[in-house]
Structure 1
């Protein structure tokens, strides 16, 4: 039994044995509360699940999660299709792009759902729509009424929707702008046409299509109550024939299986579609690959079936039950070494002295809940790291004691105000006081807990005893399990709560109750969480967690570069006026934030927190400079609307550090030592960052190494700096891809001479 299984078995046992006299379950030196305080919000229920699904932890924070929280779902943006569960049955749409101008003088791009086709059972009226099952990127929705039901399956990338009826026939309702006719080459196939869209619906052998006044009816044989409908790239007979060959291969499950190839330093992900053949000769299903799947991919099938536009760019279709992607893992180290220049070191230490004296207040400056506390813990842990590498050991120890004490206050479970609570209602850890609807709507768990996990890893690098399970590590393991349980079908926590294996990135909303679908704003905070997993796993001797974090880190970076930054020019529509997306939805692209439309914060939300693991942001210097040029233009527009940022130079440290990743001198020139500081960072850490990059140059992301925690920098002179963090107790000979070998000392950061 692995460590996670042991932890969760203990969790469930202690939940059942908790005495009425106490509501705290001890986990090592800490504990979690079995009930929230009387004034605190409880986690929502997710009642719209079949009995089998009610026995599992609820898959919140997914693209289909709204099915569980409301009788009739919100819009599900499956791509290329949209779907919506209604009292009549399942609506299916192929959305078209809509451009909406904004007060910011830019536009938002939406792909709103409209019901082109509704699959409607004729022998009964559904009582609700229930989550009946799901794969890694597919979902089963049941429409029951006592012993009768309609079951439908929708999947990311699939042009098909599959349906099975228990009784009766199926109504096939069409939007007013669509026309249908039976295909001349096979009476089982109904062709549905509209402006710029073509569907085909496939009846079973023996089924018949009948046209009524307002809708078509599919009469089904008693032994073949199934059908499928697909959106197609065109209405050519050859295309219809290709889709007909796959129409009876119904999707039963989907899995994304990954492995980390350490020798090649890449993450290999195999996407598997499990199917059930309903009739005829079994054929492969048809999968639609997103840009991050097919860009630079040499392992795809030889021939595509066609393509369709989508909010993620062009989807390319292949007849295949599996495909593989490979992503290079570009390493990082948890912190950078001290600055060598004497004068610059003195300047860093001067700021360190001032900020360390105010560290207690700096740890919680705005919010009082787990997001701002976690952010504050990481803020001070990074200040501690600078003290460490600059040789200020007394300051390091003072800051270490401070963050341990604050974390312990929360992790102990002894406070009725600041605490963690495990709820079996959904299978989740809730944290209080609530911030950003993290309890009510299950939002942002990976953002919040990512900060805690990363700060705990920073502590553990300096105090291994503190992170032991019998001390405080057990409570951190609980937060890890909430966002990164890697076993499917568990009762205590869902599989990878926030992560969408097919889209390749995380979702932030827990319930997904928006017609625009689920969303994620701060992609960089998601990266921070996966970095925390890797470091925590390495310190705990959990290679499974290190590999899982590697998969999430490398995969999410690929999606960020395509869908937030579009550095390859494949995804943003030509009408979109901004250079990057700050808020990515299932069906919307927006350049805004949840709290303000001020340009600095719009651009900065997908950069913070800038840490030594943020080197992926140096992937495209051209994009970085374009991004900053766009920021200046947007500031002018913002001020032209009579608005001002408060303060005027808000987050100037973020942009100085960001630019320094691709041009250290230009980044340092942007920096105002006495200007504003983003409240997840410190003046000392920003200054150390800028001075360090001006000494060693920019990250060389073309370099790989046969270990997890490595980095390489190249100065303008051509001088290279290599570094490796070795969390093990044995020295390692690390080979970089250019042949350089660095002997990495145990439990430390080793830097080349």
Structure 2
């Protein structure tokens, strides 16, 4: 035998023997607690020992570096460095990108004001206490602590010192523009930035030099606060003084899905510790997705902040609420009627299935395997609706077998899941795109798996039981979006930022620009998978969490990626969409290419029945695609290289949400196919929309799985799916009633005013 092959086999055998004693059983599946030998990529040491680490957050650079990257909290930004804790009020500005010949909009952190203890020199900065949108940054030296509490949407930063005074150093000569009668509250201007500084009772401000202030703290009162101001305005200093000593100790988001009304109500609550005074409330600077068209918006204070997320409007109290319409989806669409479109679909299916169902499935690591699972279940839904049960069963069996190969690898160790207890994460190997050594993109990767597993669960509930394979699926769900307080394996809502309303992709956020997310649509795909899995298995906690995440991220996407309401993008930004949203900027490119077709398409794929939110504004679709075509022409003119039909299926599928006939006319059935797509699914998608019309997102229903479409002549098509064991009547918001048999789909149509 070849010696290299022998060594490889021996290594695998050693791993199999070692792993056979190591795996933790989860139903019929398992995860490993050790890595296969041979150099698997792994996370660096994590500087946190308090349980599952809060990776993929806006402050996660604190986990891996001695001194963190800038932390963009909005309206303020912060950065702990050796010289002190920096505070800034970043302002959006246009930054020209020469390679793309367009502006990025950036609100980068500056070291405008730095705060440091006088009695000791901190050795590093680490995460202390954290909650849904607040974190304690602890800078220590031995037993001494200098702690800063910062939070999304809070103009305040709250500070505690174990001993000594605090020194404030400005980046240029400061100006005191306001001083309270008791001398405790100062208004400080540094260039075009302004801050309010609040000392405790007995504290005294001393001006050391043109750029240095010292706060002399009285015994037993080692605390103070700083507020970011919109402008150098004494009225703002006085307004924010009211809550300056209500230190935030906890933040929590909770949600309630009203199935009857198809509404999601979200409550944001801050808990405070009153250091001085009588006001126990706080101040919240609401993002556009929180204040725009919110029927529960409380009274707005006479203060707002410009930010990279648009105008932040300020309210006060201990909590506030938002309410959104949940716009559902169904697991699959009905079959095409007999006729030319059906005949073409038969031909495409013959091509896609000619080498068997395994040809639909993916390969490589967890991302591309997931894309293949999505390909398979999309085709499975099509053939099932057509009554081709033999093909359905073959695809179902192949999809289950592929998942089970990962979930229970046995001695076959080329694909497996490993639980990293140091950080608290389930990591699939082979890993891709930094999913192991950086903990990136798990919601993108696992979202495809969860959506596919939910499709299996609808057809084989026994397979989805926890004691079978469902336990492994729910581990993947917990890894990306744990909400079970009893589950200490994973952090709460790893990827999702409850205050920003969207997810972050980077595990450690090792960038000056903060964290980032490119494909909002792949994040939303994960949450759709959770809805479907929870509904299919009867797990309302998972279902309702999915509805919260899906609905909220869709609202955030409308503002921060597409700016549908014209509240966010600066006039200097020439594009109609943002391909990547960062902590401090939005830009129009991807990690791997500047090709405009892929730049636009990355926030559209995968196209599934849960993608109808993309049809919210049909006119925007037209403008967006016209802009893309113009960008592509300029891209080619300056020497860019890309096929002219790359991702045509994704882009024309998106076009079909506005004008399906026009999309069909432009599609080349012999042209490019995106790696997560098939010609069968693209044709079925476009032809279905040609028959049903545009998504009608204004009509709700009293069930989680529903969709409504409307043709130009006013005819609506109503779809619903019932996962329960008994027939169910689904009531739509326009008065239409649809009886749906148990564990089945139903469709009806008609005209309503």
Paired with 2:484 and 2:542, the residues of 1 have a C-alpha distance of 12
Match of 1:8 in 2: none
Whether 1:75 aligns to 2:70 is: yes
Specify the SS of the correspondent of 2:157: strand
Give the Å deviation of 1:349: 1.3
Compare 104-113 and 424-433 and name the one that shifted more: 104-113
Contact 2:297 2:320 in 1 (8 A): yes
Give the Å deviation of 1:236: 3.5
Contact 2:649 2:673 in 1 (8 A): yes
Gaps of 5+ in 2: 1-16
Within 5 Å, give how 1:275-424 maps onto structure 2. Answer: 275-358=272-355, 362-363=359-360, 368-414=364-410, 415-424=412-421
Give a deviation string over 1:175-205, Cα, whole Å, max 9, x none.
1153336615330112211343221100101
Match of 1:219 in 2: 216
Give the Å deviation of 1:283: 4.6
Find 2:51's aligned residue among 53, 56, 77: 56
Give the Å deviation of 1:21: 5.4
Q: What is the aligned length?
A: 730
Find 1:710's aligned residue among 687, 692, 706: 706
Give the Å deviation of 1:737: 0.4
Contact 1:105 1:637 in 2 (8 A): no
Give a deviation string over 1:224-256, Cα, whole Å, max 9, x none.
110001112234333221111111111111111
Whether 1:153 aligns to 2:149 is: yes
Whether 1:134 aligns to 2:130 is: yes
Contact 1:57 1:489 in 2 (8 A): no
Paired with 2:300 and 2:105, the residues of 1 have a C-alpha distance of 31
Whether 1:85 aligns to 2:80 is: yes
Contact 1:40 1:432 in 2 (8 A): no
Compare 149-158 and 488-497 and name the one that shifted more: 488-497
Within 5 Å, give how 1:69-218 maps onto structure 2. Answer: 69-102=64-97, 103-180=99-176, 183-213=179-209, 214-218=211-215
Match of 2:589 in 1: 592
Gaps of 5+ in 1: 1-17
Paired with 1:674 and 1:716, the residues of 2 have a C-alpha distance of 30
Give the Å deviation of 1:146: 1.4
Whether 1:243 aligns to 2:218 is: no
Specify the SS of the correspondent of 1:441: coil
Give a deviation string over 1:500-544, Cα, whole Å, max 9, x none.
000000000011111101000000001110011011111211011
Match of 1:448 in 2: 445
Find 1:733's aligned residue among 726, 729, 733: 729
Match of 2:8 in 1: none
Contact 2:118 2:165 in 1 (8 A): yes
Find 1:640's aligned residue among 592, 615, 637: 637
Paired with 1:502 and 1:21, the residues of 2 have a C-alpha distance of 43
Give the Å deviation of 1:20: 7.5
Whether 1:44 aligns to 2:39 is: no
Q: CA RMSD in A?
A: 1.7
Find 2:648's aligned residue among 641, 647, 652: 652
Specify the SS of the correspondent of 1:256: strand
Match of 1:10 in 2: none
Whether 1:426 aligns to 2:423 is: yes
Specify the SS of the correspondent of 1:456: helix
Within 5 Å, give how 1:475-514 maps onto structure 2. Answer: 475-488=472-485, 490-514=487-511
Match of 1:26 in 2: 25
Find 2:621's aligned residue among 624, 635, 658: 624
Match of 1:15 in 2: none
Contact 1:79 1:310 in 2 (8 A): yes
Give the Å deviation of 1:727: 0.7
Paired with 1:37 and 1:684, the residues of 2 have a C-alpha distance of 39
Give a deviation string over 1:376-420, Cα, whole Å, max 9, x none.
011111111111112222222222222122111111132322111
Compare 256-265 and 491-500 and name the one that shifted more: 256-265
Find 1:679's aligned residue among 671, 675, 681: 675
Paired with 1:407 and 1:236, the residues of 2 have a C-alpha distance of 60
Give a deviation string over 1:136-184, Cα, whole Å, max 9, x none.
1111111111111111111111111110101111111111153336615
Give the Å deviation of 1:98: 3.2
Match of 1:11 in 2: none
Cα gap change, 1:531 to 1:21, in 2 (>3 Å): closer
Give a deviation string over 1:256-282, Cα, whole Å, max 9, x none.
111111222111011111111111222
Contact 1:37 1:416 in 2 (8 A): yes
Match of 1:545 in 2: 542
Whether 1:438 aligns to 2:462 is: no
Compare 446-455 and 318-327 and name the one that shifted more: 318-327
Scaled by the length of structure 1, what TM-score is found? Answer: 0.94
Contact 2:361 2:399 in 1 (8 A): no
Whether 1:457 aligns to 2:419 is: no
Match of 1:670 in 2: 666
Cα gap change, 1:177 to 1:674, in 2 (>3 Å): farther
Specify the SS of the correspondent of 1:129: strand
Paired with 1:181 and 1:524, the residues of 2 have a C-alpha distance of 47
Cα gap change, 1:177 to 1:20, in 2 (>3 Å): same
Give a deviation string over 1:722-741, Cα, whole Å, max 9, x none.
11111111111111001111
Give the Å deviation of 1:485: 1.0
Cα gap change, 1:233 to 1:185, in 2 (>3 Å): farther
Compare 702-711 and 83-92 and name the one that shifted more: 83-92
Contact 1:150 1:165 in 2 (8 A): yes
Contact 1:305 1:319 in 2 (8 A): no
Whether 1:693 aligns to 2:692 is: no
Contact 1:55 1:491 in 2 (8 A): no
Contact 2:330 2:609 in 1 (8 A): yes
Contact 1:140 1:153 in 2 (8 A): yes
Give the Å deviation of 1:119: 1.3
Scaled by the length of structure 2, what TM-score is found? Answer: 0.94
Give the Å deviation of 1:109: 1.5
Cα gap change, 1:561 to 1:20, in 2 (>3 Å): closer
Contact 1:422 1:429 in 2 (8 A): yes
Give a deviation string over 1:569-621, Cα, whole Å, max 9, x none.
00011111110000000112111111111011000000000001100001001
Contact 2:44 2:437 in 1 (8 A): no
Paired with 2:730 and 2:96, the residues of 1 have a C-alpha distance of 53
Give the Å deviation of 1:666: 1.8
Specify the SS of the correspondent of 2:267: strand
Match of 1:532 in 2: 529
Paired with 2:617 and 2:530, the residues of 1 have a C-alpha distance of 26
Contact 1:273 1:321 in 2 (8 A): yes
Whether 1:559 aligns to 2:556 is: yes
